[in-house]
Amino acid sequence: MKNNISRISLKALIAIVFTVFTFSNQLNAQDGAKLFKQNCAVCHASHTDQKLTGPGLKGIFDRAPKGDWLKNWILNNEKLIKSGDAYANKIYNENGKAAMTVFEGQLTDKDVDAILGFIKAPLPAAPGVTPGQTVADATNAEPQGSIDPLYLILGAIIVLAVLLGALRSVRTSLQNSVRRSEGSEELPDLTFWQEAKAWMGQRRRLVGVIAIILLFGGMKSCWDACYRIGVYYDYKTQKGYKPEQPIKFSHKLHAGDNEIACQYCHSSVEKSRHAGIPSVNICMNCHKGIQKGPQYGEKEIAKIYEASGFDPKTGNYDNSKQNPLKWIKVHNLPDHVYFNHSQHVVVGKIECATCHGNVKEMTVAEQKSPLTMKWCIECHRKTEVVMQGNAYYDRLHKALKEKYAGQYDVKFTVDKIGGLECAKCHY
C-alpha cells in the first residue's frame, strides 16, 4: 500500500515537470516564425504566392525535390547550384541569377527545421491581423486580447499542486486507516515540505537530473531574452514605429503626388552622415504662397507660420514670435553605431526606399525595416558594389579586374570590400 501511494506522489511530481516543459515547448514553437522573420521575410512571403525579392513560398514542399533538398538549399544554395543540381539551377535562372544569402554557419540544422516547420504549418493568425500581414509579423506583434502563455503555465502548476495536496491527504488517511485496523501507531503529521525533503533525499539522482534540466532551460531562456534586448523590446527601434509629429505632414502628398525629391527637404543626405531634418525655412519656400492644403485646409500650414513667425496677412516675419518645431525622429540607431548616409546614397547608389520603405506611399512616416546589425550585414552580403561609372571606385575596379581576370562570374558585394569589418560601423 505504502509503495503504491508513494508512486502516486512521484507521478504527480513528474506530471508537474512534464507540464512545465510541454508549455515551454509550445512557447518555443514560435521560434520558427521568429527565425523566418529575422532571416527570410525580407525576400520571401511565407505562405502566399506574392513575389518579393524572391518567390513566394506557398506550395514550396510540392514544388521542391523531396528529402533534405530544401535544407541544403537554405544552408548553402551556392554549393547546390555549383553541384549541377537541375532544380537549383532552374530556380537560380528563373530569379535572374540573384544571389541568395548563404546561411551555413549562421543557422543550425535545428533552426532550418524550425523555419521549414513554420512554412509547412504556419501558426494561426492572431485576431486583428490585417490583410497582407504575414503570420510571422502577427507572431512577433504585441498580443491583443490573448492570454499570456506564462499565465497558462502558472495556472497548470497551481492546479497540479492542489491535486498533489489532495492525493497526499488521501494517501495519509488510507495509511492511518490501515494502521488503526492493525493496531499500529498512526504516522506523524508531517508538513508538505518535510515530506518533500525526505522524498528528495531518497531520490537524489532523479532530483539532480531535474535540477540540471531546469537550470539549462532557464539559462537558454535568459540568453534568448538578452539577444532580443534593444531589438524587440525597445519600441523606438521596432518595425512599425510611427510617432505622432507636431505637424500632420504627408510624405505621400509631397514625395508621392507632388514628386518632390527626398533630397530637396533632406538636403544633407548627399554630403553628410546625417540625412538632416528639414528646417522650417525649407517649408516656407513653398508654403509662403501655398496657404491651404487639400486635406487639412489651413490648420496644419498655420503651424508652419507659427514656427517661422510668419504673418500670412502682411507677408512679414517677426523673429520674436518664432516657435521652432520639435520633430520626432523615426529611424533610430544605437549611439555606438556609425552610419553614413552620403556613403550609401552617393557612393553606394542605394535608393532611400531600400532602408526607409516606400515613403512615397506613407501618409505618416514609419519604420519599415528592423535596422538591426543582422539586417545590415545581410544587406552587405547580397548588395553588389556599383563600380562602373562610379568615380569613387574607378581605381579599385581596375585593380579587381586585373586580379580576377577571366573570372567573369565574380560578384563583388559590399562584404568583399570590407563591409563586414567591425570598425566600419562601431567605434
CA dist., res. 10 & res. 231, Å (int): 43
For residue 53, the cross-strand partners are: none
Indicate the SS3 state at residue 228: coil
Q: What percent of the chain has pLDDT over 70?
A: 81
* 192-202 and 2-28 helices, crossing angle to 10°: 90
Confidence of residue 246 (pLDDT cuts 50, 70, 90): very high
The whole-number pLDDT of residue 148 equals 60
Whole-Å CA distances, 393 to 126, 347, 388: 49, 8, 8
Q: What is the mean pLDDT of the chain?
A: 79
Is it the case that residue 129 has pLDDT exceeding 60? Answer: no
The whole-number pLDDT of residue 226 equals 64
CA dist., res. 352 & res. 365, Å (int): 13
Residues 6+ apart with CB under 8 A from 321: 306, 309
CA dist., res. 369 & res. 241, Å (int): 10
Indicate the SS3 state at residue 209: helix
Higher pLDDT pick, 134 / 209: 209
Report the b/e string of 100-129 with b at 16+ CB within 10 A: bbebeeebeeebbebbbebbeebeeebeeb
What would the pLDDT profile of 135-162 be if each residue is shown by its tens digit?
A: 334 434 444 444 666 678 888 888 887 8
The whole-number pLDDT of residue 232 equals 43
- Grid cell of 308 as nine digits: 517661422
CA dist., res. 139 & res. 123, Å (int): 8
CATH superfamily of 31-122: Cytochrome c-like domain (1.10.760.10)
| CA atoms in the 13 A half-sphere facing the CB of 7 | 4
Radius of gyration for the chain, computed over Cα atoms and rounded to the nearest angstrom: 31
Confidence of residue 4 (pLDDT cuts 50, 70, 90): very low
**Cβ atoms 345, 354 nearer than 8 A:** no
> Of the ranges 8-12, 175-179, 220-224, 311-315, which one carries the lowest mean pLDDT score?
8-12
CA dist., res. 223 & res. 54, Å (int): 32
Section 171-175 average pLDDT: 80
> Of the ranges 118-122, 378-382, 392-396, which one carries the lowest mean pLDDT score?
118-122
Confidence of residue 111 (pLDDT cuts 50, 70, 90): confident
Confidence of residue 132 (pLDDT cuts 50, 70, 90): very low
Q: Quickly list H helices, 228-309.
A: 251, 262-265, 280-287, 299-308
55 phi and psi angles, rounded to 5 deg? -70, 155
- Grid cell of 360 as nine digits: 512615397
Indicate the SS3 state at residue 384: strand
**Where are the domains positioned within the chain?**
31-122, 372-427
- State how far Cα 30 lies from the chain centre: 12
Higher pLDDT pick, 119 / 236: 119
What would the pLDDT profile of 356-386 be if each residue is shown by its tens digit?
A: 999 999 999 999 998 888 889 999 999 988 8
